[in-house]
Amino acid sequence: MRNICLLLTLVLLALIEGQAAGAKTEPAFTGVQGAFFALSVADGEASAKWYAEKLGLAVDMRTKSDKIAVIVLSGSGLVVELLQHDDAVALGKDAILAHGFVKAGLVVENLDKTLAVLKARNVQIAYGPYPARANSMSNFIIKDNAGNLIQFFGK
């Protein structure tokens, strides 16, 4: 009897956890096609949570080997790969002040709606919004939880 109670408790906890994990945040944007970027992060789980809650992406895969853990998320045409390597070091406080990768970007269906959703989710708007001009689309840039820059452009 004791084993049955323990088993039922474990099944109930698994169901509750599954329901919580199944709760999905609506995508913050639409209309993206084939966008992908990968980031090296200090805390993969914290970043995965941020991308799920703020951008509405869902975890597709988690894997770990020796010194590296990989989490892949996707949604609304965007795929983000998060890499947490035990030996990685911080690039610096501001990607703009380092040589190499500076930011990722994607074109969305409705820039104003995307901006409003991200603001409502307390996402840090790092630059902009900037209006469309003769030589550029309207856009703004956000910072993720690890300080990475992501630029959104309007169609």
Domain ranges within the chain, ordered by starting residue: 2-154
Q: What CATH number is given for 2-154 in this structure?
A: 3.10.180.10
**What would the mean pLDDT of 49-61 be, rounded to a whole number?**
96
> For the purposes of burial, counting CB atoms within 10 Å of the CB of 84, is it exposed (0-12), middle (13-18) or buried (19 or more)?
buried
The answer to whether the beta carbons of residues 8 and 87 sit under 8 Å apart is: no
The CA-atom distances, in angstroms, between 40 and each of 55, 68, 89 are 18, 10, 9
Say which residue the tokens 């901006």 belong to.
Answer: 115
pLDDT greater at residue 87 or residue 116: 116
pLDDT at 95: 67
List pLDDT tens digits, range 89-111.
Answer: 877 767 677 767 788 999 999 99
- The region of weakest confidence among 58-67, 78-87, 90-99 is 90-99
- Model confidence band, residue 2 (pLDDT cutoffs 50, 70, 90): very low
pTM of the model: 0.78
